[in-house]
Amino acid sequence: MRLGVLSDIHGNVSALEVVLRDAHEQGCHSLLWLGDIVGQFEHSKECLDLVRARCVARVKGNHDEYCTRQTPVHGFNTPACAIIERN
């Protein structure tokens, strides 16, 4: 059985779709997510839906954590802050 380990897609749904397709073609039966589903790109919801549907286990990354808090974002670049604050 092959296990796929994924991380750091940061809301780039196009890239995530390619990676998921490749994992399937490579025979990965299970996928793990190591954080940062959201962040730099505009399609966080779509990425969350795909990861929830396809990955058997998920770890929350620092960008994901900030999206679940009501605290100001510090330490990220300007585009990432803007995206996180909208999510």
- H/E element, 25: helix 13-25
Say which CATH superfamily domain 2-86 falls into. Metallo-dependent phosphatases (3.60.21.10)
Percent of the chain past pLDDT 90, that is, above it, reads: 49
Over the stretch 34-65, which tens digit does the pLDDT of each residue have?
998 887 778 888 999 999 999 999 998 877 77
Tokens of 62: 């620092």
Global confidence as pTM? 0.78
Over the stretch 65-78, which tens digit does the pLDDT of each residue have?
777 666 666 666 56
- H/E element, 79: helix 78-86
Residue 85 has, within 13 A of its CA and on its CB side, a CA count of: 10
